[in-house]
Structure formats: structure tokens, C-alpha cells
Amino acid sequence: MSTTQTPTLELRNLEVAYTVRGIDRQVLRDVSLSIAPGEAYGLVGESGCGKSTAAFAAMRYLPRNGKITGGSIIFEGKDIVDIGETDVAQLRCSAISMVYQNPATALNPTIRIGKQIAEVFELNGASKSDAMKLAQESLVKVQIADPERVMRRYAHQLSGGMAQRVVIAMALASNPRLLVMDEPTTGLDATVEAEVLDLVRELRRDTGTAVLFISHNLGVIRNMCDRVGVLYAGALVEQGATTEIFKNPSHPYTVGLLRCIPRGGLHKSTDRLDTIPGTPPALGTKYEGCVFASRCSLADDKCQTELPQMVQINGEHVARCFHSDKASSMPRSIEQIEYASQADVRSVHNDDALLSISHLSKIFTQDGHKVRVINDVSFNLGFGETLGLVGESGSGKTTIAKLLLGLVSPEEGGVVTLDGKGLAQTLNRRDVSDVGAMQIVFQNPDQALNRRHSVTRIISRAVERLRGFSVDDSVVRAHELLTGMRVDASLHSVRPVQLSGGLKQRVAIARAFAGAPQIVVCDEPTSALDVSVQAAILNLLVDLQKKDNTSFIFISHDLGVVRYISDRIAVLYLGRVVEFGTSQRVFNGPFHPYTEALLSSVPNIDGSIRKRIPLTGVVPSPSNPPSGCVLNPRCPRKAGSGYETLCETEEPNLTEVEPGHFMRCHIPVANLKQLQN
Amino acid sequence: MKDSTNSDAKKVVLAERLAVLKKNKAFVVGASILGFWIFCSIFSKFMVRFDQDAMDFESINSPPSLKYWFGTDSTGRDVYSRVIIGARIIMVISFVATALGAFVGASLGLIAGYLKGKFDMVLMRILEAISAIPVIIIALLAVAAIGRSSTVITVLIIGFIFTPNVARTVRAAVLGESELEYVAAAKLRTEKTAHILFREILPNVLPTLIVEFTVRLGYAIFAVATLSFLGVGLEAGSPDWGTQVADTWDKIFTNIWWPTLFPAIAIASVAVSINLISDALLEVFEL
């Protein structure tokens, strides 16, 4: 970075503390960074590391119990730590804007979109009628189709991606010199995320606004930012140009983070994921030495007692580590496997299906309309196999899980067969053994574990009901299960609220395994977790599968995770299976046009440039699906394929295009292959 | 669970809540006043100075003095002793009546919120109809039908009247809870509906229920006093506060204010103290 220019934002030795129960707990330690005009600076780290606090501090917008205890925040050469409230308000009004994580709550639900945006212009001195005009222009700028209609809508009538565009339009309305984006795409689907990120990139090019971009997603950071800072426990541990950091990570934490992501090509059959041992420190823990020492495999006595300073690695690439030269070659951190792998004993492609579902459909009634959320879904699942279910929100992934488990009953004609035996449609008509044979790990362990019961009770009750054990025996078995999930014995009697996210999910997994299941449905089991915890949970699931030959149905929107853990994959769109095949086939192509678009929208961490295949428009409502192929209005391969009329009039069947690879597309696979090369 | 550590964990959670409550001024004031009246109703025997029914014909309608702290009424009975004795009556009746309403209301609310659908629809309409009738009218009708007023009838009426409010509050909480995944998890281990309702969901809506109970208790104090005042509550001549006010209020115009004022203050102080406590609970449990 050239130093001749005054940076837009500079944090110098910033220290922030939160007062919790009367004690000041330090959350940011000696954070120094600077963002040049027009630059995008990414702040990355796991939950609780202080990313959002840094963002709020930069805007002088800390919660009431937060305070700046040291250092300075310099905005365009002026220290804003001690300026008055009115000056801060003026700054936020005209110079700094923020885009929040959840667009649904960032917009006022009672004010029409147009008026909300116009308010920002009015604040900056525009007249009422001008403000409305400017608002409409700003919607055009964020590429909203039909801005006039959107202006008259309310927040709840917009999709997530649209709402986030509106929030961005509002943030840009004041022509800010600094835009703070706090996880702006975290709640969005991959294809929508890609579009929003494209938009932000374009706007940045046009306006030259400096951006402070906060994300836990390394792929997004890599694709969006010029420079990156890695935060751990409130301290900046590494900083430098994005390409440099990803190419040559020099702090053990950064190295660990990059290693534990299930990235391109890794598969459970050959690779075990790295984890970062231990847990992040509690809020406000005091340190003598390095903040990361307790979890670092390179740490020695010096790291425990002496605070490392930033060491220059290469130009402006700095790392706060005594052993930065050894970081990239540090030993891999893989958990011990406690039992012999049986992977080679069994064959994945067993002809006898353990589970087979055929012609499963589900119609929900919504405001008097019949909505077909699942449309004629059929597939088989083998012994010890993992089937990945992939699709954007609303594609019906979770509904399929509920249909299988009997929590929701399918329409007439849908059959679920387990091990050759037809299952009753509803849960209360199934045998105990059938119920125990198919269990689920829910997405959100906070909701899935009863917060009023102890961990042991949650598990032992399931053992008692599903295995018919006596109360005492089931408690013993519960302890065994929990220990098997590596939940420490000292935690067996606590309530879920006292556990970390990863431990809660381990308890939820233990509960799913309480009835000795043949099939476990994993519904986004790691999407609420940090990447290092995610890696440990995925390893655990793979171990359990190898040990008991359990089959998994793995639902996730994270394609890297699905690719790592799945043997076969079903891609869903609007309640239909559009592509089905082995993990290899689905990820290496030839692709179904939808899968192609989905895959191309994922920001990857290896930095390879892929051409993005955009999906235009929005996901149509399942209550009024398009005629012909349901993908046709958005299909990236329809135009020019020569099959346009067919696509628009007739729904394609799921046909086998290659051995073991099925697609629902009119365009012959040979043509697709050609287009995709 | 038999785990001793489990109950330890519970104690820790409770201790944290209590620590927050202790800092709440409204709660401290409310709890002190209510604590005083609870103390009175338990140890009234040792606190009274005279038998509450003993008549001192020497000093009828005598104003507050060192002998009769709150003065005497028109039959020469010690007002202080009657107020102290009255505490137990009103507290026990209000508590039992509220407990009855809370029990029936919570059960109905749990079932309605969990089953949803037609049962919920019909039940809630019936409960709405009940809550549309004023307490006094129901009490008058009941007394007229039975021919006399009594403690049991008062309890039943107040419990009946409170049922819809409790049911509605509990139902709303259950509606949210029953969507959570732990309920689906319970179904997936073949639990019966009763277990899901009372062992899984009820513990999670208990804070809501406790707060609702305290709010209702405050109203119950007023309701008991009002019914007694109107002569359709407890048996005539009983030393409860409502009846005392009813028996003496007309003397206020002859400047004999003490037999009315002290029981009135007692009613107000209990009602206010319970309201202070329920406000504090609402704040602490963030409902």
C-alpha cells in the first residue's frame, strides 16, 4: 500500500472491552490496520473473535456495555474516538455506511421500500420528490429489475437477495467513503450470494468506496478483498495482501483455518480433515504470551510467556508469531482414529438397497393454494452409503427428510421401503425398531436439545425408548455413547446451554445414534458451526459410518462439505431431483445446467478463476411452477441449445445419461459436455 | 434424573437468577411487603393483641391508641388484630383460587397449543366467551343459584374466571415451543403425547407460567376483597379485609375512618407488592 495517500480508515492499537457483570472483559487487543481509499479489506476469523466488534468500533457504534479502552480510530486523518455524538451521527450519515448480515431485520417492516431509501437521501438534503427519484435510480444501480414495483413493496415481500440489494442501495445512498459490510451474504443461497458479491465488486469499481468486509467464509474473502486481516481472540494475528496470505499463510492459526476446510477434491475415502485442537478462549481471557499458544502445535515456552510482535514476512505481509517461518510446514493436526477402518471391507455400490423411496410427493396447503413442494422423488440408499442432498433454500431438502422420518406423511402413492419392508406413512404407526432405525441430526442443536434436560437424560431417554433398556442401563449406555462422541465425562450431567456449539452437535449426534440406527439423516449438521469445529464433526461422522456401516442422508448447502462426505449426490430444484449420480460424476461433469450454475457460484479458496454461469431471475414459487422444464426461465444453457420449445412445453424425465448418472434435461448430454468445455 | 450434579447445575442457574432479582428494587420492595404479610398469616396467633372477635363494649369506635393500635370498630373489636388475622384468609383463598385457575388453564393451553387445529379453535372460542363475562356477574349468579356465599364458591369462581387468561398465555408459548426440533426429536423416540406435553414442553414454558401466576395472584387479592365487599364472597362477619371494609365504610362520614382505612391499606399493599414482584419477574425472565 502506498503511504502517500491518507488512509480512509486507520485503527491504531485499538483496544475494546465489554463490561459483563461489572467486570471489563477485553475483546479487541492492540488491533492496528488501515484501509486505503478504494481498497477492500477483509477481516476473517471464527465466531467470537471480535470481527463484528471491530466493525462496530470503526463506526463508533458499540453496544452500551462496550467501550474503547485504548488506541485510536482515525477516519480520513481525524481521530474519531473522542468526538461528540452529533459529529458521530454526521459521520454515519454522510461518510460511513454499514450493511448488516440479516437484510430481513435491517429493513423496517412497516415502511415501503421506496420511502425507506428516500429517507436517506432526504437526510442528506434532497427534497421529498427528488429523494423518491434518487431512490428509484439507486435501485437501478443495484440491478433490481422493475424498481418501480419494488419501491411500493414492504420488506417481507422481497426475497433475501433482493432485500440485501435494497440494504446496499440504502448504504450507498449517502455516497459513503467507507462501507462496512458485516457478513453481507451469510444468510443467502450460493447463487444469490454470488450475484450480490458480483454487484458489490462492480459498485466498488464504479464508486471507489473503501470497504471493510467481514466474513467467516475464507472463499468469499479471497474473492472480494485486496488485503486480509486474520483475527483470533481479539488480536490481529496475520495481515497482508490476499493472494499472499492464501499462498503463503504464516501464522499457525491461518494455516489451520485453511487446512480444515473441505476443499476441492478431498473425499472422506482418502482424506481426513485437519482440525484445530482445543477451543477458542472465553471472552476477556488474559494473556501473558501468544493468544493462540494453547492450541498451537508449534508453541514452545517462549510462546506461553512472551507476547509476539508482528514479524514482517514479505513486504507488508506480517504475522504475529515467533515461528512464522515454520507455520506453513507445521505438522498436520489430525485426530486419532480409534478403530480400524472398515472402508475396504464393504462395497459402496451394493445392489441391495437399504432404503428405497419411490414417487414421493408432498402438497402443502398455503393460504388456500395447493403447493407441491416435493414432486415425484425416487432414489435408493445403499448400506453404509452417504447420499448428499443439494439445492438452494426452498428446494425441498428438509421436507424430504421429514417425509422419510415420518414426521410428515407423503401423498398417495409415495412409498418408503427400509431393508425390504414398507414403512407406515406416519411416525406413530411405525414400529419402535423402524423408528430407531432412521434418526436425524438437526441443523440447530440449540433447538434440537431440550434446554431443560441434562445431556445424559436427553440421550438415556432415547436409549430407553428405542432400545427398551431399563432406566439404569440406558444411563450407562448414554455415558458410553457420549464418551464415544468425545464428550468429556465431566459434561455429561450439565444442560445443553453450558456446552459450546460443537459439543452440542456431538450430543445431538449421540442422540441420533442412541437407537442403533441404520440410517441417519444429517440436516445441515455443520452450518451453524465454525470451520474448525465443522471439520471435527465431519471426521466424527465419517468415523461413525466406518464403525457401524451406518448410511447417511446428508443435507447441506455447502457444496465443499457435501462433496467431501457423499458417495452419491442428488441435486434438487423446486422439489424435483434434477441430477443424480456419484459424487465424482456430479462434481466433475458433464453437469446439469442447474448444477453447473450452482457449482460456479461457490467462491473457492484455492483462487482458481472459474467462469460464473449465472442463473437469471428468482426461484419461481412452487405454487405456480413454470410450464415445461421448471428450470427453463432461468436455465443458462437453454438459449441457443436448439431445444427451446421443448424446454418450455414439456417437463423432461430423469434419464440415465451415463452409467449411474441421471439428469432431468432435454439437452443431450453430449451437447452439454461440449458447451461446458 | 438421579444425578446429584444435575441438581447442582439447577442450583447455579437459580442462584444467577436470584442474584439479578436481588438487584431489582421493585422486586425487593414487593418481596418485603409480601413477606411481611406471609409472616403475619403464618404467625398471626403470636402477633394479635386481642381475640379478633372479642368485643370491648367499653371502647366502641375508639380511635387508634396505645391499647388499640388501629382503633376499634362499632362492636368494640380490635381493628389491628382483625387486619392481622385477615391476612391468612385472603392469602390462602387467593393462592388456592389462582393455583386452580393456573392448573386448569395451563393444561388447556398446553393441549390447545400442541394439538392446534379444530380442538384449539373451539376451545379458544369457548374461553374467549367466558372471559367476556364480568367476574361480579358470575359471582352474583352463582350465589343467587346456590343461595348463599361461601369460601369454596369464591375459590371456584375466581379459578374459573382466571382459566382463559392462563390458557391463552400458555398456549402462545406452547405454539412457539412445539415448532422447535426437540419436540420432533421426542416424537422420533416414540414418546406419547402426554410425555411430550408435560415432560418436554411444560418445563420450557414454566417461566411464562410462573409470571402469569403472579400477575393473576395480584388480581385474585382484589377479586376476593371485591366479592367480600359486595357480600357475595366469604361468609358474612368473617374477619377478612373486604368484609371489614364493607362493614365499616359508611362510618367514614361520621369521621370514624380507622376501621375502614387499615384493611383497605392492607389490600392495596398486598396487591401492589405482588404486582411489583410480577413486573420484576417479567423483566428478569425477559418475557
Instruction: Say how far residue B177 (Cα) sits from the centre of its chain.
Output: 27
pLDDT at res. A4: 61
pLDDT by residue (tens digit) across B97-128? 999 999 999 999 999 999 988 999 999 999 99
Residues of B in contact with A405 (CB under 8 A): 188
Give yes or no for A454 touching B (CB within 8 A): yes
Domain locations along chain B: 24-50+71-284
Give yes or no for A646 touching B (CB within 8 A): no
Of residues B19 and A134, more confidence is placed in: A134
pTM: 0.85
Of A435, A494, A498, the CB nearest to B188: A435
Residues of B in contact with A439 (CB under 8 A): 188
Of A440, A447, A493, the CB nearest to B188: A440
A366 and A270 part of one domain: no
pLDDT by residue (tens digit) across A65-82? 888 999 999 999 889 988
Q: How far is B202 from chain A (nearest CA, A)?
A: 10
Task: Answer yes or no: is pLDDT of B82 > 60.
Answer: yes
Task: Answer yes or no: is pLDDT of A102 > 80.
Answer: yes
Q: How far is A169 from chain B (nearest CA, A)?
A: 34
Give yes or no for A126 touching B (CB within 8 A): no
Question: In percent, how much of chain A has pLDDT > 90?
Answer: 43
Instruction: Summarize the confidence of residues A558-564 as an average pLDDT.
Output: 90
pLDDT at res. B115: 92
Name the band, by pLDDT with cuts 50, 70 and 90, for residue A339: very low
Find, in chain B, the residue whose alpha carbon is nearest to that of A459. B189
Of residues B24 and A677, more confidence is placed in: B24
Find, in chain A, the residue whose alpha carbon is nearest to that of B6. A493
Of A448, A466, A498, the CB nearest to B182: A448
A401 and A462 part of one domain: yes
Helix (H) / strand (E) containing A387 = strand A386-390
Chain A interface disruption, residue of B6, B20, B189, B197, most A CBs within 10 A: B189
Q: Answer yes or no: are the C-beta atoms of A49 and A232 closer than 8 Å.
A: yes
Of residues B15 and B281, more confidence is placed in: B281
Task: Answer yes or no: is pLDDT of A343 > 70.
Answer: no
Give yes or no for B54 touching A (CB within 8 A): no
Of A407, A428, A493, the CB nearest to B184: A407
Contact: B182, A447; criterion CB under 8 Å = yes
What type of residue sits at position A493? S
Instruction: Summarize the confidence of residues A497-503 as an average pLDDT.
Output: 87
Residues of A in contact with B190 (CB under 8 A): 427-428, 432, 435, 465-466
pLDDT by residue (tens digit) across A520-540? 999 999 988 888 889 999 999
pLDDT at res. B11: 58
**Boundary residue ending a domain (A544, A573, A602):** A573
A341 in any annotated domain: no
Task: Answer yes or no: is pLDDT of A340 > 50.
Answer: no
Contact: B189, A447; criterion CB under 8 Å = no
A164 and A33 part of one domain: yes
Task: Answer yes or no: is pLDDT of B248 > 80.
Answer: yes
Name the band, by pLDDT with cuts 50, 70 and 90, for residue A378: very high
Give yes or no for A493 touching B (CB within 8 A): yes
Burial of residue A419, with CB atoms counted within 10 A of its CB: 0-12 exposed, 13-18 middle, 19 or more buried = middle
CATH of the domain at A220: 3.40.50.300
Give yes or no for A495 touching B (CB within 8 A): yes
Instruction: Summarize the confidence of residues A407-413 as an average pLDDT.
Output: 90
Contact: A466, B189; criterion CB under 8 Å = yes
What DSSP character marks residue B285? Answer: T
Determine if residue A183 is left, alpha or beta; phi over 0 gives left, psi from -120 to 50 gives alpha, anything else beta: left
Name the band, by pLDDT with cuts 50, 70 and 90, for residue A2: very low
A519 and A454 part of one domain: yes
A293 and A164 part of one domain: no
Instruction: Summarize the confidence of residues B20-34 as an average pLDDT.
Output: 88
Residues of B in contact with A462 (CB under 8 A): 185, 189
- How many alpha carbons fall within 13 Å on the CB side of residue B259? 27
pLDDT at res. A361: 92
The B residues from 4 to 23 touching A (CB cutoff 8 Å) are: 5-6, 9, 13
What type of residue sits at position A40? A
- How many alpha carbons fall within 13 Å on the CB side of residue B189? 26
b/e burial code for range A577-587 (CB count within 10 A of at least 16 → b): bbbbbbbebbb
Contact: A439, B200; criterion CB under 8 Å = no
Burial of residue A522, with CB atoms counted within 10 A of its CB: 0-12 exposed, 13-18 middle, 19 or more buried = buried
A189 in any annotated domain: yes
- Distance in angstroms (rounded) separating the CA atoms of residues A396 and A523: 12
Q: How far is A481 from chain B (nearest CA, A)?
A: 16
Of residues B72 and A12, more confidence is placed in: A12
Burial of residue A359, with CB atoms counted within 10 A of its CB: 0-12 exposed, 13-18 middle, 19 or more buried = middle
**What is B144-198 written as a DSSP string?**
HHHSS--HHHHHHHHHHHHHHHHHHHHHHHHHHHTTSHHHHHHHTTT--HHHIII
A400 and A530 part of one domain: yes
Worst-scoring range by mean pLDDT, A319-333, B233-247, B256-270?
A: B233-247
Give yes or no for A21 touching B (CB within 8 A): no
The B residues from 68 to 97 touching A (CB cutoff 8 Å) are: none
Name the band, by pLDDT with cuts 50, 70 and 90, for residue A342: very low
Q: How far is B1 from chain A (nearest CA, A)?
A: 7
Task: Answer yes or no: is pLDDT of A242 > 80.
Answer: yes
Q: Answer yes or no: are the C-beta atoms of B117 and B178 closer than 8 Å.
A: no
- Distance in angstroms (rounded) separating the CA atoms of residues B200 and A570: 35
Contact: B185, A465; criterion CB under 8 Å = no
A389 and A483 part of one domain: yes
A271 and A146 part of one domain: no
Name the band, by pLDDT with cuts 50, 70 and 90, for residue A390: very high
Task: Answer yes or no: is pLDDT of A346 > 70.
Answer: no
Q: Answer yes or no: are the C-beta atoms of A575 and A284 closer than 8 Å.
A: no
Task: Answer yes or no: is pLDDT of B186 > 90.
Answer: yes
Residues of A in contact with B193 (CB under 8 A): none
A141 and A39 part of one domain: yes
Find, in chain A, the residue whose alpha carbon is nearest to that of B188. A435
pLDDT at res. A537: 92
Contact: A448, B188; criterion CB under 8 Å = no
Name the band, by pLDDT with cuts 50, 70 and 90, for residue A286: confident
What type of residue sits at position B226? T
A672 in any annotated domain: yes
Find, in chain A, the residue whose alpha carbon is nearest to that of B185. A448
Q: How far is A398 from chain B (nearest CA, A)?
A: 12
**Boundary residue ending a domain (A309, A327, A345):** A327
Contact: A454, B204; criterion CB under 8 Å = no
**Which residues share a beta bridge with A386?**
A552
Name the band, by pLDDT with cuts 50, 70 and 90, for residue B2: very low
H-type alpha helices, A571-643: 583-588, 593-600
A416 and A499 part of one domain: yes
Of B3, B186, B206, the CB nearest to A454: B3
Task: Answer yes or no: is pLDDT of B3 > 50.
Answer: no
A186 and A269 part of one domain: no
Of A439, A450, A493, the CB nearest to B200: A450
Residues of A in contact with B206 (CB under 8 A): 452
Tally of structural domains, chain A: 4
Residues of B in contact with A428 (CB under 8 A): 187, 190
Instruction: Summarize the confidence of residues A279-291 as an average pLDDT.
Output: 82
Worst-scoring range by mean pLDDT, A242-256, A424-438, A593-607?
A: A593-607
**In the structure grid, which three cell numbers stand for residue B214, read together?**
403472579
Contact: A435, B180; criterion CB under 8 Å = no
Q: How many CB pairs under 8 A join A and B?
A: 73
pLDDT at res. A500: 85
ipTM above 0.90 for this complex: no
CA distances from A32 to A10, A58, A230 (A): 7, 12, 12
Of B6, B180, B189, the CB nearest to A465: B189
pLDDT by residue (tens digit) across A37-60? 989 999 998 888 889 899 999 888
Of B5, B185, B191, the CB nearest to A448: B185
- Taken as a whole, chain A contains a residue count of 677
Give yes or no for A514 touching B (CB within 8 A): yes
Residues of B in contact with A435 (CB under 8 A): 188-190
A269 and A300 part of one domain: yes
* Residue A148 lies in domain: 9-225
Name the band, by pLDDT with cuts 50, 70 and 90, for residue B12: low
Task: Answer yes or no: is pLDDT of A193 > 80.
Answer: yes
The second-level CATH assignment, the architecture, of B24-50+71-284 is: Orthogonal Bundle (1.10)
pLDDT at res. A1: 45
Average pLDDT value over all residues in chain A = 88
Contact: A457, B191; criterion CB under 8 Å = no
Name the band, by pLDDT with cuts 50, 70 and 90, for residue B6: very low
Provide the pairing of β-strand A317-319 with A235-241. antiparallel
